[in-house]
Amino acid sequence: MILSAVILSALSIHTVGAATPETVNLDLGKTVRMALDNNSSVKISAAELDAAKAELDQAKGSRWGSIDFSHTSGRTEKYQSNVIGNNHSNQVSITVPIYTGGRLEGVIDQAKKNLDYYQYGMSSSYQTTRYNAEKGYYDVLQAANTVNLDKETVNRLDEHLKNTQAQFAVGVVAKADVLRSQVELVNAQQTLTQAENNYEVAVSSLNNVIGLPTATRLNLSQGLEYKPNDYTLDNCVTYAMANRPEIHQAEASVGMAQAAQKIANSGSLPQVSLGASNAWSNDTFPGQNRDNWTVGLNITQNIWDYGVNAAKVREAKANVVKAQESYRQISDQVRLAVRTSYLSMREAEKRIKTTEVAVAQAEEDYRIAQLRYRAGVGTNTDVMDASVALTTAKNNYIQALYDYNTSTALLEQSMGVPVENE
């Protein structure tokens, strides 16, 4: 069963005295796609991911060592003998790490976990952007429905005022009834003005999310709807713990901290590398003397550094504990976020059903109040109260639909439901 709000179509903004802004037709899916294509947060996450891939390539490349070439050309003048001499020298050297005490392995592990972190960060950015786009879409619908509801109220009160004035003209009702009706109409017009401004703000905000000029008019093809779902709280929590990107990011942070500890531990272990070089030089370019070559094994060992490396190890261990506690904290926050959004969704769902009934009752109550007033057996106050009750009932129904849709979107974001074609 799908229930729709009283008014489904969004409004168009007309700017007096200015060029007519472009109008863009949107549905919910197109809104999300535009946000993903144009949102800066997504582009930043993509750049961070590219940087993490490059860091991993650097880390992997460092384990194979390096090959370096150097060249020097010089000219020397010996003033005593007026002899000018040239010198050209070249050298090629190769350095290959043999054993680093786990340092290179730690650097590679750290880079891998860093890549994992930003891959999940990309997913998080996608999901957050989707939620912001969906909420912005619902905000515009909510604001549009409120404007139309307030217009309906103004029209209803205007019609009642005309009826009251007609009755006053023939002496059926008192002047006080006319004055009260006029006051209620003015109040409703003020409320409508505020609602129209809120609509403009909502449209501008959504335009900002999806990358359109803020003055763009929007025509939304989908309304606020009630689409039942079969989510259960336990299943939602279980899904979130397995799929929420922020939890996987926290896991990656623990891995990075552990890799950093491995790097720190390597500071007290020997570092072994193999080196080879060949140099040639002469007074003619590029040089013919190629007999100067070396091959050697280089071993370095930190004997004493006044506790510097030991302090680095203690720092790394503390950072591991910090990352582990952050993981626990984020896991608890995810559980709470899922529970909160789930309960809010179910609460809004109940309100949809009750407020729908209330709208029907309020419409009937207003109809009866009008008939009684025209018949002279009811009061103007009865009509005003019934009008307020009808507006409140319809507003509560629209609010319940809005809360249900936004809570559902927030629940799916809290669960880590992936974006389509992510």
Q: Residue 251: pLDDT above 70?
A: yes
pLDDT score at 351: 97
> Quick one: pLDDT at residue 12?
45
* CA–CA separation, 41 and 209 (whole Å): 10
Please give the pLDDT value at position 288.
Answer: 56
> Residue 264 — pLDDT band, cuts 50, 70, 90?
very high
Q: Where are the alpha helices (DSSP H) in 211-244?
A: 233-243
Cα(103)–Cα(406) distance, integer angstroms: 49
Q: Check residue 1 and give its pLDDT.
A: 43
Residue range 5-33, pLDDT digits in tens: 444 444 444 434 445 678 999 999 999 99
Give residue 55's pLDDT: 95
Provide the pLDDT confidence category of residue 289 given band limits of 50, 70 and 90: low
pLDDT value of residue 281: 67
Q: What is the pLDDT of residues 147-199, one digit of tens each?
A: 999 999 999 999 999 999 999 999 989 999 999 999 999 999 999 999 999 99
Q: Where are the domains of the chain?
A: 3-64+101-269+306-415
In this model, does residue 116 exceed pLDDT 60?
yes
CA within 13 Å, CB half, 95: 10
What digits encode the pLDDT tens for the residues 26-52? Answer: 999 999 999 999 989 999 999 999 999
Pick 294 or 395 by higher pLDDT: 395
Give the model confidence (pLDDT) of 380-421 as tens digits: 999 999 999 999 999 999 999 999 999 999 999 999 999 986
Structure tokens at 300: 């370095």
Reference 133, options 414, 415, 410, 336; nearest CA is 410
The answer to whether residue 366 scores a pLDDT higher than 70 is yes
Residue 367 CB: number of other CB atoms within 10 A?
Answer: 12
Please name which of 243, 27, 25 lies closest in space to residue 127, comparing C-alpha atoms.
243
- Position 277 scores a pLDDT of 82
Q: What local confidence, expressed as pLDDT, does residue 239 receive?
A: 98
pLDDT at res. 306: 92
**Mean pLDDT, range 309-332, rounded to an integer:** 97
Overall average pLDDT of the 368-383 stretch? 92
**Cα R_g (the chain), whole angstroms:** 37
Instruction: Please give the C-alpha separations between residue 54 and each of 67, 106, 108, 191, in angstroms, as whole numbers.
Output: 20, 17, 12, 56
CATH number for the region 3-64+101-269+306-415 comes to 1.20.1600.10
State how far the alpha carbon of 89 is from the alpha carbons of 83, 174, 354, 395, in Å: 20, 113, 91, 87
Tokens of 414: 């809290």
Q: Report pLDDT for 8.
A: 44
Beta bridge partners of 281: 89, 289
CA 37 to chain centre: 13
Retrieve residue 39's tokens.
């949102």
Query: Mean per-residue pLDDT for 203-212?
Result: 96
Residue 328: closest CA among 390, 241, 399: 241
Residue 88 scores a pLDDT above 90: no
> Would you say 137 and 273 are in contact if contact means Cβ atoms under 8 Å apart?
no
